[in-house]
Amino acid sequence: MASHTHHVVVVGGSFGGVNAAYQLRRKLGDRVDVTLISAEADFTFIPSLPWVMMGWRKPEAIKVPLAGPMRRRGVSFIHDRATAIDPQAQTATTAGGKIFSYDHLVLATGSELDWSNVPGSDPAMGAVHSCFTVEQAVAAREAIARFLASDGGQAIVGASPGASCIGPAYELIMMLDTALRRQKRRHLFDLHLVTPEPFLGHFGLNGIGNMSRLLEDEFRSRHLNWTINAALARIDTGTATLAEGTEMPMDLAVLIPAFYGAQVVRDVEGLGNPRGFIPTDKHLRSTKYPNIYAVGVSVAIAPPVPTPVPVGVPKTGHMSEEMATRAAANISVEVTGSGEPVDALTLPITCLTDAGDVAFYIKAEPFLPPRNLAAIRRGVRYHYLKLAFERFYLEKVKRDLPGMHFGW
């Protein structure tokens, strides 16, 4: 009697999904059929989108088509959007009507952007730009180019209440400063960070080491203004209004919204929490459906401490990759019946936050406090390290290379 080939379906083609597919193939070989379903044909190195916004990188330079690399690794690649999951039947269905059966399902479904809590903040309305897709980055690039070429003005860069990926706002406001200083026109512009965090460098993690003090020093040396505990309440053309009534004039606005979990998760009763993120055990198994694993942004992680204005916990590219590696290891344990599952939520974090001229190297282990390690470094070398890492990581995706991990 022929043995059963184990079927694993992975949904999502970014850091978590790509690495989960590669790791499953590497760990289990021909014991499994691995299918990757992705709404995007390309992997995009999202940490480089601020460079695209500044006109320092072309969009095509930070993409890798996924079909070829997946085929070479023996992974079936489906360029389509997953629209339905049936945990009882153990199937995933795509917009094209294809149905895929699974023994294990890995959801690396990321997030959807929630503009609803700040009226007027949706980029489609024209007053605000954002940085989570190539299309958004290109639209912002054009607005930023006009702003930098103007006779002077005011920029607001920041995040809405509940936002959980605030790092790019810090990068962008420092990059704007760098670009204007290179033009010797910095004195004509006001740059203002508006953040729901209770202090600079909180990042939804209650801070990392002495990052808050370092960022305050950095912002003061660059003459950047900031407002913390900021609850943006409304955006109109030319004005941002905070909940306590302060009106802030602006010629450019770039904002990071709060996130929802993916619609395909929200449509399954009991799979996601009220925001659509997936509660898991420490092995990344859904608490409702144990043969469904979640990795990356789709995982529900509670903030370490309450804050006056809500701030979400970020899931960086490094964290998503770590989760994918550990989820694959735990699926391997289940498939082979050997070994012990690993804790997949006590994660390290490594990040390079770029300012256009220098960068900050940030390492913390575990990512939530209290920590065994928190290290911060600043310097020009880390700016060039991030440039080099972008190139390395794109090759890593093309070739399934082992090695370094950095990212938002």
Out of 165, 233, 258, 295, the active site residue is: 165
351 is catalytic: yes
Please give the pLDDT value at position 1.
33
Q: Tell me whether residue 131 is one of the annotated catalytic residues.
A: no
**CATH 3.30.70.360 is the classification of domain 6-113+260-345:** no
Cα angle 6, 10, 12 (rounded to 5 degrees) comes to 175
Intervals of the chain under pLDDT 50: 1-2, 404-408
Structural domain boundaries of the chain?
Answer: 6-113+260-345, 115-258
Structure tokens at 18: 């790509």
pLDDT given at position 408? 41
Query: What's the sign of the alpha-carbon dihedral 278, 313, 17, 94?
Result: positive
pLDDT in the model for residue 406: 44
> Which one is catalytic: 137, 233, 351, 359?
351
Fold match flag (6-113+260-345 vs 115-258): yes
Query: For the domain 115-258, what is the CATH superfamily, name and number?
Result: FAD/NAD(P)-binding domain (3.50.50.60)
